[in-house]
Chains A and B, each alone.
Chain A
Amino acid sequence: DIQTTQSPSSLSASVGDRVTITCRASQSVHNYLNWYQQKPGKAPKLLIYVASTLQTAVPSRFSGSGSGTDFTLTINGLQPEDLATYYCHQTYTSPGTFGQGTKVEIK
Chain B
Amino acid sequence: VQLVQSGGDLVHPGGSLTLSCAASGFTVATNHMNWVRQAPGKGLEWVSVIYAGGSTLYADSVKGRFTISRDTSSNTLYLQMDSLRGGDTAVYYCARQKYGEFGDNWFDPWGQGALVTVSS
Contact = CB atoms under 8 A, between A and B. Distances in A.
Interface residues of B, number: 23
Interface stretch (A16-24, A41-49, A72-80): A41-49
Chain B interface SS verdict (over half)? strand
Contacts of B108: 46, 49, 55
Interface of A: 31-32, 34, 36, 43-46, 49-50, 55, 87, 89, 91, 94-101
B45 interface: yes
A98 B111 contact: no
Contacts of A98: 36, 43-46
B28 to A, nearest CB: 18
Nearest to A51: B104
B30 to A, nearest CB: 17
Interface string B101-115: 001111111111100
A34 B97 CA distance: 12
